[in-house]
Amino acid sequence: MTGKPPQITMVQALNQAIDEAMAEDDGVFCLGEDVAAKQGGGVFKVTSGLTEKYGTHRIRATPISETAIVGAAVGAALAGQRPIAEIMLMNFVGVCMDQIVNHAAKLRFMSGGQTNVPLVIRTTTGVGVGFGGQHSDMLEAWFAHVAGIRVVTPSNAADAKGLMRSAIDSNDPVIFIENILCYGLKSDDPGPGYRVPLGEAAIAREGSDVSLITYGRTVLDALAIADEMASVGISVEVVDLRTIAPYDEETVLASVRKTGRAITLHEAVRPYGTGAEMAATIHEKLWGKLKAPVLRIGGTFSPVPFVAALEQAWIPTKPEIVAAIRSSMENG
Amino acid sequence: MTGKPPQITMVQALNQAIDEAMAEDDGVFCLGEDVAAKQGGGVFKVTSGLTEKYGTHRIRATPISETAIVGAAVGAALAGQRPIAEIMLMNFVGVCMDQIVNHAAKLRFMSGGQTNVPLVIRTTTGVGVGFGGQHSDMLEAWFAHVAGIRVVTPSNAADAKGLMRSAIDSNDPVIFIENILCYGLKSDDPGPGYRVPLGEAAIAREGSDVSLITYGRTVLDALAIADEMASVGISVEVVDLRTIAPYDEETVLASVRKTGRAITLHEAVRPYGTGAEMAATIHEKLWGKLKAPVLRIGGTFSPVPFVAALEQAWIPTKPEIVAAIRSSMENG
Amino acid sequence: MAADQLRDAPSRAEIDRATLRDIYTRTMKVNRTDEKFRALLMEGKVAVMYYCVRGQELVSAAAMTALTDDDYVVCTYRGQGEQTAKGIPAEKWWAECLGKVTGTCKGKGGTMHITYPEKGIMVTTGVVGSGLPIANGLAMASQNNGDGRVTMVSFGDGAANIGGFHEAMNMAALYQLPIVFLCQNNRYGEHTAFADHTASPSIADRAAGYGMRSIHVDGNDVHQMYNAAKLAVDRARAGEGPTLIEAMCYRMMGHFFGADFSYMPPEHLAEMKAEDPLPKLRAVMLDRQFTEAELDDIVAQIDAEIDTAVARALAADFPDPHELKVDVFEEEMP
Amino acid sequence: MAADQLRDAPSRAEIDRATLRDIYTRTMKVNRTDEKFRALLMEGKVAVMYYCVRGQELVSAAAMTALTDDDYVVCTYRGQGEQTAKGIPAEKWWAECLGKVTGTCKGKGGTMHITYPEKGIMVTTGVVGSGLPIANGLAMASQNNGDGRVTMVSFGDGAANIGGFHEAMNMAALYQLPIVFLCQNNRYGEHTAFADHTASPSIADRAAGYGMRSIHVDGNDVHQMYNAAKLAVDRARAGEGPTLIEAMCYRMMGHFFGADFSYMPPEHLAEMKAEDPLPKLRAVMLDRQFTEAELDDIVAQIDAEIDTAVARALAADFPDPHELKVDVFEEEMP
Ligand SMILES: Cc1ncc(C[n+]2csc(CCOP(=O)(O)OP(=O)(O)O)c2C)c(N)n1
Ligand SMILES: Cc1ncc(C[n+]2csc(CCOP(=O)(O)OP(=O)(O)O)c2C)c(N)n1
Ligand SMILES: [Mg+2]
Ligand SMILES: [Mg+2]
């Protein structure tokens, strides 16, 4: 074999995963604002080219009606289909939480298992593109706090493909969070049928001194910082959760058992973020075995500001993460 | 003076607080489904008798339109009024999260401080009355995770009155959570003008062995259990947060510094609940000073079931709380 | 299409005897179930939330008669009518309401969340207006896979003011979904009278704004009610898109059992009484040569069935707390 | 009121010269601001999200002319027209768009969230349709305290399909709030053409379903547009309740600056060009004996003002990160 393996971007990876699933199962269909060919295949092009293959019944461009979009996905899922609904940006879940939380997540339980809701809600978000206060939030903690729904986010293109296939396969509802800043990331093409199981974290980089537990875009920061820290003799293990909830507690605990130190890192604001759950669990389960308290890093506790000068200060910064690692290392 | 001081129920306490605020400030008004006299003064009678005094412009019965209700409250608050909006049951925030989170909470920041949103959103909820999966959730952790909004819940009638006055006074938006099962609780009437400052926890019972940190209805459980534990020689300190977010970290840490042991307790499901934030903070701030890991107790991680046989198993049970206290005492 | 072309006229066309008998049977099933529930609550034998359907029996029964077993239904907490008229076995229904493990949902759903896919009862929601968007999804599935099913979603007048109603109506019209929107206008949303929550004279008036067909009928008149349902269901099944039916009726027993209804003015109570669908339906039946005895017999059979169902449901077990770990996700919780 | 009585006819009544001059000035302010923004973006001098208003200038300008300084406005990310036409000082506006501490919101809000209460711009929202419920609240405050203000809320055709629109329309009609709903129907919601998101021919058709008055106008015709706004504003101020105005216009430059708009068919582009409001307005002005020189002078003054404002905004400072602790709650964050 000569040359490099073919590469795909995260957008292509998502597109391929959806395409493969649609080809295999007639029940898979997409709905959301601007998703069809006539509208250009989605504002981020994730559903590009699919209308041509599957028609406008299976790639449905919708009105701006998030409640109707998610509601329709819930209903179609109850009828045995596997809808993939798009909420263009994550903050807009604000207008349709009822359908997600009171319905999608609960109908299996409330029906005593007679029905289930195998839908995927794709959405995107991200701080760092100047979208301001109403278009940048990471709200995964809201969903993690709700029984009956899974929350997934990829940090690279290959995982995006594999997680999307598994999300579509899942018989439970899945919130699939994409990060705008990651859409262009490239991975080696993992090939057709590739799946990453839900609920399994990845050790994105092995290390022995401190576990940096993160997901989504901040995995990139974590890896970059781990590189740097290696050069000053601190060995950082980067845990990429991939499934945020229910998360892979076993892998997280195994990592921290090994390193004795943990830092949680996410773009979402720190208070009441997912890091709190992990920190609380690690402290409880590894009582007496930690060398330092679990530190948590998250976005600044304010709405996301518009201008880059503030936005870059808002997100977890490199110095902040490095300082946390150093502070952790000073203990024990 | 002879006889007992006059007593008021939590419903009366809330009614008095609103009445006093309306009498003092023309800008205070209520809106919500069924709140006016023609509809019987609210389904839980909290606004009973107020239409007669203040008219239907200041006690506005609304259509079933939570987005329009909260939106109107946001707009009126921007114009300098102090609306009190009612969302009949907490789960219905699902249809209006956008107005609460993307607007009420953020407009002060996004306007650079030119505007602010002094509104109160009253809502009620509670497990134990057989309302089932869509009418029983405690969702305070969602709001606690959002910058710009305060979350308050009283555990007794006097606090209800004092917190409601302070919530109405507040220049920030406040989510005010009432528990259906607490509406009938009685306190000595704290008299006119009574206020409990937002952001201040109360030591509901002093103790020296373990801090039980809770709020709302579970304060009653905590107090009852503290009584029992006293009889077997375990001294439980009960911290009633009263303001859930931003919470009184100082009082919580002071209590745990004293006892060396902490248990968080809430009706909301345990994963990603407010207890996680407190546990994570306590471990971090009191590193090396704790005698035992912080334990967390919350509702079962499932939708709330209908039948009492399941519902009573779903909520944090007495044996569960007692077991946590004993387990905590066994450490250190 | 112009607004007036989108409005169908109510029809008093004759209904064949077999169908009429069916409607009567279903109506009485709804009514006797309601009476029984209230009796049990009165006697204190059960203590659960129950949203009475007294006054709305015919609307549900006639609408369900227009559907096949396979058709989908989405209803509300006040869904006893749709549920029993669509054919949920009495014992399973009662057991669910009493929270028993033998209930449709093993006691986890309860009175506000009855589900029974075997008879097409796909969701019963407690969040006002949330059923409409979900119903669209069921209809979308049918449209996608061409299974010929029709979806009917029932909701109240109050629900017509929530955002989900609007989004669902527009989407259904846009996609020409095989769906029927059944607004049971019982003149109240909880404690609020129609005119105090809606400034237009009728909910049906809203359909034109979505380019959707509509029909406004007297829900206490069996001919108007059944013919409207039939028209809408047939249209949906033929791929000719959605219809909004507004069925005027009365909520005769307050919002839920035991709730205060002193806010309802006496004129209204008198008006309701005069329009009670049950004596009217009985008159139609007699007029069509059903005998008193025949009709009484139908009711007696229903009562017997209900009594057996209630007895069995009362005797059944409550679910085990282990059920809290089941049906949360596909896999059992640890 | 019957549906046809709720519909006002567009009016071509003459507009007095002073008002016409005012409308022209505001229209050109909107247009020159838009041109300048696009130029700066093209040159790469700024790199922010900007939602062009080319083609919709007259709608905003005429509507704002019908309001007083004290009246309230709620608009969207595509709100440059309302914002500049209502009178936000150019320098403050530009500084905000460039994220400077001298901006209306100290650079925290940005292009999608301009606020300036001094001129009644109370909220600019980025969540489609969310402005309508908030606008009701502003109007409710005016109704409560009798301050005589009118609230106008601007939104797109796409926004008319979200739940908040519906809830707000019904509530405004029910309470007869002093509010004007201005739907700028620019034929697209993001990439979706009107007919692909709405099955009825017009948004104005929906008003009757709420018992609300409405008017459907050509937003490129200064007479129709201004007279409609004036009628609705006067009505609201007189306590006669809300009006929905649907102003037909074209979004000539795609969804936001730099966005692909290949999905727009060529016929549409040609149609748009023929209806461009600017040459039409200029023709009206000339017809009313404004001279070319006079009109050019107005534009020159505007350009000068904009150039100064942009220069100052470019030179101003970015906010200090300390701003992240301010304006979250009333008290500064620790
Ligand atoms: C979103 C939401 N808001 C409020 C409620 C509380 N609530 C329950 S039933 C009801 C009245 C509904 O009226 P209508 O739609 O006319 O139905 P009906 O009860 O008359 O059958 C209300 C307000 C709810 N369940 N959901
Ligand atoms: C609730 C919500 N859904 C989706 C979006 C993404 N979005 C931003 S603008 C827009 C199109 C809005 O169209 P229209 O209301 O016609 O306004 P226009 O942009 O044409 O002025 C969409 C879908 C959003 N901001 N909010
Ligand atoms: Mg009703
Ligand atoms: Mg548009």
Q: At residue D233, does pLDDT exceed 70?
A: yes
Residue of D nearest to B97 (CA): D130
Assess whether pLDDT exceeds 70 at residue B35.
yes
Q: List pLDDT tens digits, range A45-104.
A: 999 999 999 999 999 999 999 999 999 999 999 999 999 999 999 999 999 999 999 999
Give the residue with greater pLDDT, D265 vs D134: D134
Touching subunits for chain C (3+ Cβ pairs under 8 A): A, B, D
Q: Does residue C37 register a pLDDT over 90? A: yes
Of C176, C153, C174, nearest in space to C165 by CA:
C153
Residues A133-149 have pLDDT tens digits of 999 999 999 999 999 99
User: Residue C1: its pLDDT value, please?
Assistant: 62
Distance from CA of C14 to the nearest CA of D (A): 32
SS3 D201: coil
Which chain D residue has the Cα nearest residue B112?
A: D105
Q: Evaluate whether B7-188 and B202-329 have a shared fold.
A: yes
> Closest Cα to residue A51, out of A32, A69, A30, A65?
A30
Residue B295 has pLDDT above 70, yes or no: yes
Give the residues across from B8 on adjacent strands: B187
B227 touches B318 (CB < 8 A) = no
Q: Give the tens place of pLDDT for each residue, B161-186.
A: 999 999 999 999 999 999 999 999 99
Q: CB of D73 closer than 6 A to ligand 2?
A: no
Q: pLDDT band for position D5 (50/70/90)?
A: confident
pLDDT average, residue stretch C184-211: 96
Distances (CA, A) of D203 to B19, B294, B311, D166, D320: 42, 57, 47, 11, 45
Mean pLDDT across the stretch D46-59? 97
Does ligand 1 come within 6 angstroms of the Cβ of C286?
A: no
Residue A303's closest CA among D316, B113, D96, B119?
A: B113
Find the CB nearest B112 among D109, D137, D144: D109
Report if residue C88 sits inside a domain: yes
If one counts every other C-beta atom within 10 angstroms of the C-beta of residue C2, the result is 8
Q: What is the mean pLDDT of residues D265-286?
A: 94
- CB spacing of A110 vs C113 below 8 angstroms: yes
Chain D nearest CA to C157, separation (Å): 13
What is the per-residue pLDDT for C36?
A: 98
Nearest CA-CA partner of B62 in B75, B73, B52: B73
Distance B272 CA to ligand 1 centre (A): 30
Residues written for chain B: 332
Ligand (nearest to CA of A44): 2
User: Crossing angle of helices B66-78/D163-175, nearest 10°?
Assistant: 70
Please report whether residue C315 resides in a domain: no
B135 assigned to active site: yes
The residue among A28, A64, A65 with the most chain C CBs within 10 A of its CB, best to mutate, is: A65
- Mean pLDDT for C172-200 is 97
* Prediction ipTM score: 0.98
D163·B95 Cβ contact <8 A: yes
Across-strand partners of D121? D73, D116
Any ligand 2 atom below 6 A from CB of D251: yes
Does D190 sit in the ligand 2 pocket, CB within 6 Å? yes
What is the residue type of C241?
A: G
DSSP state of C200: S
- B230: number of Cβ within 10 Å: 14
Q: Specify whether the CB–CB gap between B265 and B238 falls below 8 A.
A: no
Largest CA distance in chain C: 63
pLDDT value for B36: 96
pLDDT at D196: 96
What is the distance in angstroms between the Cα of C286 and the nearest Cα belonging to chain B?
40
Taking the domain A202-329, which CATH number applies? 3.40.50.920
Neighbours of chain D (3+ CB pairs under 8 A): A, B, C
Across the range B36-60, mean pLDDT stands at 96
Buried b / exposed e over B301-315, threshold 16 CB at 10 Å, is bbbbbbbbbbbebbb
Mean pLDDT value across residues A277-298: 98
**Tell me, what CATH number does D9's domain have?**
3.40.50.970
Q: What is the pLDDT of residues B205-233, one digit of tens each?
A: 999 999 999 999 999 999 999 999 999 99
pLDDT of residue B2: 57
Contact status of C175 with chain A (Cβ, < 8 Å): yes
Write out the DSSP string of A36-47. Answer: SGGGTS-TT-TT
Tell me, in angstroms, the distance from the centre of ligand 1 to residue D207's CA. 24
What integer is the mean pLDDT of D36-45? Answer: 96
Quick: pLDDT tens for D102-135: 999 999 999 999 999 999 999 999 999 999 999 9
User: Residue B331 pLDDT > 90, yes or no?
Assistant: no
pLDDT average, residue stretch A203-210: 98
> Is D331 contained in some domain?
no
| C176-C181-C182 Cα angle (round to 5) | 160
Q: Say if residue D7 is exposed, middle or buried (CB neighbours under 10 Å; 0-12, 13-18, 19+).
A: middle
Residues of A catalogued as catalytic: 135
Amino acid sitting at position C276? D
- Which of A62, A251, A70 lies closest to A174 in space, CA to CA? A70
Structure tokens at D46: 């700024």
Q: Quick one: angle between helices D90-97 and D292-315, nearest 10?
A: 50
DSSP annotation of B91: G
Residue D93 has pLDDT above 90, yes or no: yes
Contact (CB, 8 A) for A143 and A96: no
Find tokens 């001294």 and name the residue: B235
Q: How many helices (H) and strands (E) does chain A have?
A: 12, 14
Q: What pLDDT score does A331 carry?
A: 79
Query: What are the structure tokens assigned to B294, written together?
Result: 């912080």
- Which of B79, B80, B112 is opposite residue D105, by nearest beta carbon? B112
End-to-end CA distance of chain C: 57
- Does residue D71's CB lie within 6 angstroms of at least one atom of ligand 2? no
Residues of D whose CB is below 8 A from A95: 127, 129-130, 162-164
Instruction: Locate C123 and state its tokens.
Output: 């969701």
Q: What is the pLDDT at residue D3?
A: 73
Q: Which residues contact C7 (CB under 8 A, 6 or more apart)?
A: C204, C207, C208, C213, C214, C215, C216
Is the pTM for the entire model greater than 0.90?
yes
d(CA B216, CA B238): 12
> In this structure, are residues A213 and A262 in contact, taking their beta carbons and an 8 Å threshold?
yes
C257-272 confidence digits (pLDDT tens):
988 888 888 888 899 9
Contacts of C48 in chain B (CB under 8 A): 130
d(CA A274, CA A294): 13
The pLDDT of residue D147 = 98
- Going by their DSSP bridges, the two strands D72-76 and A82-87 should be labelled as unpaired
CA C160 to ligand 1: nearest atom: 15
Q: Report if residue D329 sits inside a domain.
A: no
* Range A7-188: architecture per CATH: 3-Layer(aba) Sandwich (3.40)
Question: Nearest 5 degrees, angle CA D250-CA D256-CA D260?
Answer: 90
What are the distances in angstroms from CA B207 to CA B230, B235, C274, D100, D178? 9, 5, 66, 53, 58
Q: Tell me the sheet residues that pair with D245.
A: D182, D215
Instruction: Tell me if C108 and B309 make a contact (CB, 8 A cut-off).
Output: no
pLDDT at A3: 72
Element (H, E) at B202: strand B202-205
Mean pLDDT, residues B4-31: 97
Nearest to D121 by CA among D158, D67, D51, D171: D67
Rg (CA), chain D: 19
Phi and psi torsions of D2, nearest 5°? -70, 160
SS3 content of chain B, % helix, strand, coil (to 5): 40, 20, 40
C176: domain range? Answer: 3-308
Q: How many domains does chain D have?
A: 1
User: Quick one: average pLDDT of C303-315?
Assistant: 98
- Alpha-carbon span C46 to B306, nearest angstrom: 14
**Residues above pLDDT 70, as percent of chain D:** 99
CA distances from C152 to C183, C230, C236, C334, D261 (A): 10, 11, 10, 38, 39
Task: Classify residue B1 by burial, with Cβ atoms within 10 Å: 0-12, 13-18, 19+.
Answer: exposed
Cβ(B108)–Cβ(D105) below 8 Å: no
At D327, is the secondary structure helix, strand, or coil?
coil
User: What is the average per-residue pLDDT within D192-217?
Assistant: 97
Give residue limits of the domains in chain B: 7-188, 202-329
